[in-house]
Chains A and B, each alone.
Chain A
Amino acid sequence: MSDFELSRNSFGRLVLKAADGRVHEGVVAVRAFPIAAPDEGISLVGSEGHELVWIARLDDLPDDMRRLVGEELAQREFVPVIERLVAVSTFATPSYWRVTTDHGETEFILRGEEDIRRIGHGKLLIGDSHGMQYLVPDLYALDGHSRKLLDRFL
């Protein structure tokens, strides 16, 4: 049903063959609403920065293309989900945090309380000193220890 084709070349870049027959190399996939609606509204953007294809829903794509887009998205957006706060160095900021995420355990520096952004009920986005974002999908679903630590910064 889709009028374009996607493939990956030997350099690992996404190649798009558009409906008009033109071929674009190095296409990137971008989510329009990464937080509010990650699976809706995905744009394939050419290396020039112009939108080439708009995908209303990821589910509308055939399986193999969905996998390609999925891979591309996965490596472009890296928002580890915090599963547990292991320790924080201090309740004042800047503070060193050790956390367990869905991508493994890591450490980062929280520069200030304002880097913790509330995005809806119990959902938090935490930015570290290098601009990386960590997601807490549901504050209330965390274990007691983590919640207690986190609570001090809210």
Chain B
Amino acid sequence: MSARPDLPRFPDSLPAEWCRELDAELSSGSNVLAWLEVDLDESLGFARTRIVLCDGELLSRRAGTMQWQRWPLHAELQLGHFDHAGVGTLELSDRQGRLSVWRYTLEQNLAVLRLIKAFESRQQLLATGAAPAVESGDICPKCKAPLPPDETECPICTRVEQTPPSTWTLLRLWRFGKPYQGQLLAGFLLMLGSTAATLVPPYLTMPLMDDILIPFQNGQQIDAGLVGIYLAALLGAALLSWALGWAKTYILALVSERIAADLRTATFEHLLQLSLEYFGGKRTGDLMARIGSETDRLSVFLSLHLLDFITDVLMIVLTAIILFSINPWLALVTLLPLPLIAWLIHLVRDRLRTGFEKIDRVWGEVTNVLADTIPGIRVVKAFAQESREARRFRDANHHNLVINDRLNKTWSLFTPTVSLLTEIGLLVVWAFGIWLVSKSQITVGVLTAFLAYIGRFYTRLDSMSRIVSVTQKAAAGAKRIFDILDHVSTVPEPVRPVHLANVTGAMELREVGFRYGSRSVIRDLSLQIRPGEMIGLVGHSGSGKSTLVNLICRFYDVTDGSIRIDGIDLRSIPVAEFRRHIGLVLQEPFLFFGSVAENIAYGKPDATRDEIVAAARAAHAHEFILRLPQGYDSLVGERGQGLSGGERQRVSIARALLIDPRLLILDEATSSVDTETEKEIQRALDNLVAGRTTIAIAHRLSTLRKADRLVVMDRGRIVEIGSHDELMASEGHYYRLYQAQQRHAEELLLEGAAA
């Protein structure tokens, strides 16, 4: 039967339960155009409210009520939204006032935008009688990009949801062990051999007792030849076990070091791929600890503890086999305490693991104090806060102690308990063994062999119990490393990358919105930049200029809208490929530890000396570099110590010049230097800007004379665009900014004259 046209029609995605409910509500022939369930109620409780848009009306049913509220659509109806601190608000109003409010968490932002879009196109249809431009039908409501045909979700905006990593973290190390399979197998076989060899001597105590010592006690002669053979066998077994043990330890230690090194490299490489957002949320000390000491701890675990443990397990299994083959009953009694010990180990395990994870975090805290204080030592000393930092360190250390103490309480009880169980186990074997000997079930030799075996056996159990703690430590470490490795960059590499052929440098920002967390910093910003154009970005501090630059460099990804270069969405270009076309000069230039020449050539390591000198000349850095004691080979420190602010800045300009970028970004490049140096830098910049698309942020408006257009920003929005003269004439935001600076400059001048 075909669908009857007079029934309401629902989108496929609408849950069946809604359809049933709406069936009764909607008039026949009415279609559901968009729907949504917001997750907060008016007083911000977590409760679900349904909103449905259909042809002629908007409906909503609040959680806990059965009544649908309805608002017939008419031309004056408006649906607006805004958000603050993680809560979005959707408002329906007409000319007289607000009709209804809905609230939602930002998780539903996309769905809300969809609803608003559907609402607006419906309104337009009602007003003009014509559907809005074709485009709107398949545009992603979030990034405004046209959707690929046959897809309802934008491939750029819908990203993989984060999945928690599994707890079997240590097994995941296998990924790093795989390349060394061969060596690992060889090591394992050697281990098997050496362990088997160590089990020979206790076995020989049996014939030594029964065939030699006991007959001697009963008055027989000692057979020197037989004794010789047995002793030779003992020596042979010891030598064999020594040689095999050496080979195995050597091979496996080699392999485990390599695994740890691979892990370290992989982690660091992955870390470098992560977005600035990740680094913003992490602390240096913590990351350093993870990559440095955690990987080292893992290496020790693999080469020492895990190895010992596997040897022990092998030994126990082999011993058990031997014991059972000699006398099953005695073997059973001997092995009885084993499950008990295993249970004990399991019991303590959980406590220890959480304890060790905690210690790791606290340890990170201790390193963090160091990482905060040492780079900031000038501030610490300037404000005479040494004692406060010392106290912070002491507190962190104390916290460490407290947690360790708590853990040690459990831990210290553990080992003696295992020893006690060992003694009790031995006691049982003695008792049962003597009874068996008295019944002539076994010989004295067998009992001696058993005691010799389990003497070792139990000491191994004792050391095995230690594996619990080291495994937990290693697992905690591995987890912290895999936390990094599992972290997906928030500026992900595109699935289907588009490559840039020849970049002209045309940029387009389309309804861009951006949030740091829940804080909205850029709102609905659109801008077209022609190839080779110079844009001056001005506005109060905090108006979002640097943030915009971060978005253009793709240090962060936009929350809404899209940014395109030559018509291609930035998110579909491989990150590194895109960044090659960007030259960035920041207010606080960062120089790496190395020579001046190396720093200039940072973005192009294969640059020739001539290129470096040419870049330095163009950046007006050449002369001051020559004045340094070792010229271009002078070492500059970690934070460029030894160079002044202006000098560092010119080195970083040379760095940007050298890579010859199509797109140049200057973020307050001259703000931290005096006017004289600024002129010097300005001349350097003029060289840099020529022929490139440039976005320049400057605190001093006078430095933007050369800009083709000035873009004035205020609280995340563009408020004015135009040339200096136009903007001055319109007496708006820019005019006020400029006036304020002029006054300030005059005051300075007067002060200077007075002094």
Contacts and interface: CB of A to CB of B under 8 A. Distances in A.
Contacts of B86: 78, 130-133
Residue with the greatest number of chain A CB neighbours at <10 A, chosen from B43, B282, B518: B518
Interface stretch (B92-100, B447-455, B678-686): B92-100
Contacts of B739: none
B154 interface: no
A7 interface: no
A18 interface: no
A1 B85 CA distance: 32
Interface in A119-151: 127, 129-133, 151
B328 interface: no
A9 B97 CA distance: 8
A11 B93 contact: yes
A12 B164 contact: no
Nearest to A129: B162
Contact of A131 (B47, B282, B483, B515): B515
Interface in A77-117: 77-78, 80, 89-96, 101, 103-106, 109, 111-115
Contacts of A106: 39, 46
B515 A109 contact: no
Contacts, number: 97
Given A11-B98, A131-B515, A111 B162 contact: yes
B361 interface: yes
B692 interface: no
A66 interface: no
Nearest to A104: B46
A93 B106 contact: no
B519 A104 contact: no
Query: Which of the four size classes fits the interface of chain B?
Result: 35 or more
A96 B164 contact: yes
A36 interface: no
A67 interface: no
A152 interface: yes
A76 B85 contact: yes
A114 B281 contact: yes
Contacts of B44: 74-75, 78, 103
B517 interface: yes
A49 interface: yes
A5 B108 CA distance: 36
A64 B102 CA distance: 25
A54 B358 CA distance: 44
B121 interface: no
* Chain A contact residues: helix, strand, loop or mixed: loop
A10 interface: yes
Given A11-B93, A104-B46, A130-B86, A90 B358 contact: no
A14 B347 CA distance: 60
A154 interface: yes
A48 B91 CA distance: 21
A78 B98 contact: no
Contacts of A95: 164
Contacts of B515: 131
Contacts of B162: 94, 109, 111, 129
Contacts of A90: 164-167
B275 interface: no
Contacts of A111: 162
A12 to B, nearest CB: 4
B98 A12 contact: yes
Nearest to A79: B85
Given A10-B97, A76-B84, A101-B46, A113 B517 contact: no
Contact of A10 (B39, B98, B169): B98
A34 to B, nearest CB: 9
Interface string B98-136: 100101011100000000000000000000000000000
B460 interface: no
A77 B85 contact: yes
B370 to A, nearest CB: 17
B105 A130 contact: yes
Given A75-B44, A104-B47, A94 B105 contact: no
B84 to A, nearest CB: 6
Contacts of B164: 89-90, 92-96
A101 B39 CA distance: 14
Nearest to A115: B281
A95 B167 CA distance: 12
A152 B356 CA distance: 11
Nearest to B361: A113
Contact of B483 (A89, A103, A104, A112): A112
B237 interface: no
A12 B91 contact: yes
A81 to B, nearest CB: 12
B361 A103 contact: no
Given A12-B98, A75-B44, 10 more contacts: A12-B101, A74-B43, A76-B84, A76-B85, A76-B87, A106-B46, A114-B286, A130-B518, A131-B518, A154-B358
17 contacts: A12-B91, A75-B44, A80-B46, A91-B167, A92-B167, A92-B479, A92-B483, A93-B483, A103-B44, A104-B47, A106-B46, A113-B361, A114-B282, A129-B162, A131-B518, A132-B106, A133-B518
